[in-house]
Structure 1
């Protein structure tokens, strides 16, 4: 039998094979492009064409059709070591005016009398990032979220510049200085925990990481627990979540207590 006869429609074996393959292709297309998209109850489509396009990776967005539910927002802040490194005096002055609204929680001089963070002398990039995250919803708080949602990019930069300009002052509620625990000095390399100071140094740090000396023990403990439980998710690349999840509860207590007991490194206001 010649090749022409083998691949001829008159050959019943060839005809059946082609029919079976075509049938499988049609069933697969129907299942993948129509049945499976509609089986996802959280998605709604305006038409059959929208479902097909969505399954093909080309979602058709429509203002009248609810979009799919998405997971928690993540931080979109982009930082470099030079972010807000040289603010203008005008920016600092505008930030001082804006900061009057922050004084009830963070103190008139940037030092909190409660368990809110001390902001005086904090790295500008840290305050800038956290305000951006509160505004976007990447980080949430009953007080900070409504405050940040209406801030412009310039106002956020001005507030960060002002607080970074202030000198670091002793905390209102200092505790007796404690010896440095092992988790702070050495971390725990076998569990993927770096020494805290490798990111949170008071004179040099990783961009976006705050200095911690003199901060509220209750606040730091609550944030570490929130990272460990993935209730706070605005850390870049999940770095803090990975570390906090690997820390034992007593190590979280020790780190928070130690940093709360340390006086801040006094840094003079820049000109």
Structure 2
């Protein structure tokens, strides 16, 4: 089996077979969030002809997560990925080319007269297991935010998450995120509780601490009743739901 065939098989196993239009539905947690069309031009290369994320899921890192998953599958298959990206002259990073560059794509040709840039992502070598001695918190947090955006789309509420950043060391990735907004369209119907329960479950599974800043006493009490605690900050409404302690092995023989 060629690398291209191996990748297409892996994509089908991950997201399902292409439909009559030749496009494969893209799923996160079983929810369809977009679609992709792939083609094998060379034995070791698959071309991304189209990738589309539904409008309500845009702006939450969903497309980035999907492309990163595709990149992981391509690495495992030893297959290169190619695509065309339109260059926006009003953007410092060109728009989409900047996004693709952050995901490992490099410019090969162009831009052409129509403004399209040919880009390629070559497969990474198999990683050394020691490379994973420390978790990649940036990726863990980004994937969780994208997954919760998909979950929230089914609920009558507005929610926003962002990675936690330390003002004194902004370059570091921390195992934490911040819930900046949580507003139910119809308070008292359980949507906020359902969202927070799912978010807490995912944070626990990923070993992440969750911070929030309650807007008032009622909001503060809502969070305190759901596992949050007051932090050592000066403001009474600064709350945290701490990551679970890792299980320690019994040192006894």
TM-score normalized with structure 2 length: 0.24
Higher-strand-fraction structure: 2
Question: TM-score, normalising length from structure 1?
Answer: 0.23
Greater C-alpha Rg: 1
Greater relative contact order (Cα < 8 A, sep 6+): 1
The structure with the greater share of residues assigned to helix is: 1
